[in-house]
Chain A
Amino acid sequence: MNHEPNLANEPNVFEKVVDFVDERVGLKTLQAKMLNEPVPGGSRWAYAFGSVLLFIFILQVVTGILLMFYYVPSTDHAYASTQYIIHEVDYGWFLLSYHFWGSSAMVVMVFAHMSQVFLWGAYKKPRELIWLVGLALFGLVMAFGFTGYLLPWDQRAYWATVVGVEIMDKTPIVGDFMARFLKGGPTPGQMTLSRFFVIHVMVLPAGLMALAGLHIFLFRKAGPAGPFRGTPEEIKAKTDYFFPRQIWKDIVAMASVFLIICSLAFIEPVVLLHEATPDPGDYHPEPEWYFLFLFQLLRLKIFGGEFGQFLGAVAIPGAFMAFLAALPFIDRSPERDIFKRPLALIGWIAIMLGILIFTVSAIINREFLD
């Protein structure tokens, strides 16, 4: 009779470590909860936007930390240290360019994610809170772009901030305070740079992490909305767990976005203009590309003058954001099929066309300025 222990059933070192952690924190329960989430109607590429956003944010944090090893947030050294990153630090140009294009990718992904949720009717009951937190996250992503733009301290950065703060100044009641608080003086200077830097690297990441956590928690609580079309039999037949198919789709989508950002970093790497001065010289101030449509809108005669500027820069965008926040409470119909919600479809197309037309107009406008 063989009394030797059966070594094949003995746990190896890795399994022992996993068991040790599992016994104390419930790792396997957590893993099962995370991966065994049912996805109604099965995995879809359209569901990958949220995961991609999280992925881009993590890489922005990583590249941002690496850049902070060299960047000096003072008006004396911000420009020189950015130049140093581009020209002297090994692969610094690539890290900075990746970080720059990553911020644009985040904005694009937020637009895509919000559009998908809107078109799928996934903001409706019981997912109103997810939508509201998502809107707040959208605001944070925009704030990331705005505050990060100043940090290289070149003419583009300085004047984009001047324009942005001037727009903010037009907000009634709090506008003046916010503009003074951000600038920290009559013109952008050291105080502005310090404040933007702190907001960019400390306040906004903390806020984004907290809100993203809440967003995911609420999403898991309510569960995925699933497709807006298909018979219950079809949806049930295709329903799958989050792992492995949706995870695979998410990974492929993340890899694609990563490759696109890397390619953009190669094709159009960050190049600084002259160091920031209070004299614009030949430079025509302009905000980041995703604010261009608003900037061009403000050039229209209808938005001229103090009241017009307030209307175009604050009142209309503010009213639009308020409308988006109120949307789940206004649109109470349970119908989710976008082709049976013509008003929503036409409204979305009109807004997208408007943004496209005014962005292209702003690009054409550069020729006239030059």
Chain B
Amino acid sequence: MSNVKLGLLVLWPTFWTGFPIKMVVALLLLAAHVHPWEGVGLEALLLLSIPIDIWALGLCARTVFLERLRVDPPQGMGLRLWAYWAGFSVVYLPLLYFAVGGVKALAKSATEATIHFVEESLMVIPIAEKITLELVMWGMPTTIVLIVLVYGWLFGLGALAQRFVRVSTPVDGTFQDIVYKWDLLRIPKDQPLLLTAFTGAGVVLVFVFWGLIPVSTPHPHEDYEFVNVKKVEPKIIPKDVIKSAEQVLARAEATIKELEKENPKGELPKNGKAQAAKEGSKPPTK
């Protein structure tokens, strides 16, 4: 098996095996207002990741060795392989970061110069087209360099894993036997104990989570801060209420007197009853 393939086959499941456990830690840190990507949070997460990665790497590498290479690796491979991989990655990944960053900066300036030249000498490119064109122009070489360097990284990881292949013992038996063997790696001896421990840990973590998270929003927006505008209830002063009621009654009395003067007999106009009934059925209008 090629180094790149072996590196990828071990790295991919290792990442996903450790990921959920690390996520639990990251979420608890977030709930406690500690950013897991800076300062103490990052240090805590990295420190906790070490035993998780050693365990996940040992489990996943052993599975790949058994299933794909049909060899039984030596005991304690997880720790030793992790140490090799960590040492290599500490040197390689910063180089990858700076190399990709450098290529990106170079490609961006070359793209800007090219676009500027085209616009000066040939035609004006509309803004939406220009954005996509620029993105593709600097993104393509950057992505190619990134892929090549990741390929190199996987090659290195695979080459380090190959050291363990050489000292592993071949496994006899059918494919079914081998599957059964690596499957047993994942099944605990005392299953009810593991399930109880998992459930217990889950319950504790749920309580810790709800105990830590803020009740109200931890991020009030600086531009759109909530202003709780409470409607001011008008003060009720009994004297004023009586006074205004008296005024209303006085106006009503004056209106009635005026109406009596205009129509002293209180007669209704022609069709008055029908008209009055019609008026009465109408909904009140403001």
- CB within 8 Å of B: which residues of A? 42, 45, 83, 86-88, 90-91, 93-94, 233-234, 237-238, 252, 255-256, 259-260, 262-263, 266-267, 269, 271-274, 296, 299-301, 357-358, 360-361, 364-365, 368
Q: Give 1 or 0 for each of B108-139: 1 = CB within 8 Å of chain A CB.
A: 00000000000000000011110110011001
B23 is an interface residue with CB less than 8 A from chain A: yes
Stretch in B150-158, B220-228, B243-251, B275-283 touching the partner:
B220-228
Of the A-B pairs whose beta carbons lie under 8 Å apart in the complex, a sample of 27, sorted by A's number, is: A88-B216, A88-B228, A93-B218, A237-B175, A237-B179, A252-B20, A255-B20, A256-B20, A259-B24, A259-B26, A260-B23, A262-B27, A266-B27, A266-B213, A267-B30, A271-B219, A271-B221, A271-B224, A296-B128, A296-B132, A300-B126, A300-B128, A357-B135, A357-B136, A357-B139, A361-B135, A365-B128
Known: A269-B219, A271-B219, A357-B139. 4 other contacts (CB 8 A): A42-B179, A256-B19, A266-B30, A300-B129
Asked if A91 contacts B27 (CB within 8 A), the reply is no
In whole angstroms, how far apart are the Cα atoms of A234 and B179 in the complex? 9
CB pair B23 A269 closer than 8 Å? no
B132 touches A358 (CB 8 A): yes
Check if B215 is an interface residue, CB within 8 A of chain A: yes
The tally of CB-CB contacts under 8 A between chains A and B is 88
B221 contacts across to A, CB distance below 8 A = 271-272
B179 x A90 contact (CB < 8 A): no
Q: Are A87 and B27 in contact (CB under 8 A)?
A: no
We find that the number of chain B residues with CB closer than 8 angstroms to chain A is: 33
Contact B215 A301 (CB under 8 A): no
CA A262 to CA B30, docked complex, whole Å: 9
Least CB distance, B44 to chain A, in whole angstroms? 15
Interface SS of chain B: helix
| Residues of chain A lying within 8 A (CB to CB) of residue B174 | 237
Any A CB within 8 A of the CB of B16 = yes
Write out the residue numbers on chain B whose beta carbons fall within 8 Å of the beta carbon of A256.
19-20, 23
Residues of A within 8 A of B217 (CB): 86-87, 93, 269
Instruction: Verify A238–B179 contact, CB threshold 8 A.
Output: yes
A86/B226 in contact, CB under 8 A: yes
User: How far, in angstroms, from A45 to B14 measured CA to CA in the complex?
Assistant: 13
Report the separation of the CA atoms of residues A269 and B216 in the bound assembly, to the nearest whole angstrom: 11
**Is residue B45 within 8 Å, beta carbon to beta carbon, of the partner chain?**
no
B176 at interface, CB cutoff 8 A: yes
Complex CA–CA separation, A364 to B136 (angstroms): 13
A269 and B202 CA atoms in complex are apart in Å by: 24
Q: Does B31 contact A (CB under 8 A)?
A: yes
Q: Using Cβ atoms and an 8 Å threshold, which residues of chain B touch A91?
A: 213, 215
Q: Is the CB of A361 within 8 A of B226?
A: no
| Ranked 4 nearest A-B pairs via Cβ | A93-B217, A299-B128, A259-B23, A271-B221
Instruction: Find out whether the CB atom of A361 lies under 8 angstroms from the CB atom of B131.
Output: yes
Docked CA distance A357–B213 (Å): 37
Say yes or no: A273 contacts B131, CB within 8 Å. Answer: no
Minimum CB–CB distance from B28 to chain A (whole Å) comes to: 10
Contact A234 B175 (CB under 8 A): yes
Give the docked Cα–Cα distance between A45 and B216 (Å): 37
The answer, among B23, B135, B215, B228, for a CB contact under 8 Å with A263, is B23
Residue numbers in B under 8 Å from A237 (CB-CB): 174-176, 179
Taking a contact as CB atoms under 8 Å apart, the answer to whether B175 and A365 are in contact is no
Q: Is the CB of B127 within 8 A of A368?
A: yes
Task: Report Cα–Cα, A255/B201, bound state, in Å.
Answer: 14
Is the Cβ of A266 less than 8 Å from the Cβ of B224?
no
A358–B179 CA distance with the chains assembled, in angstroms? 44
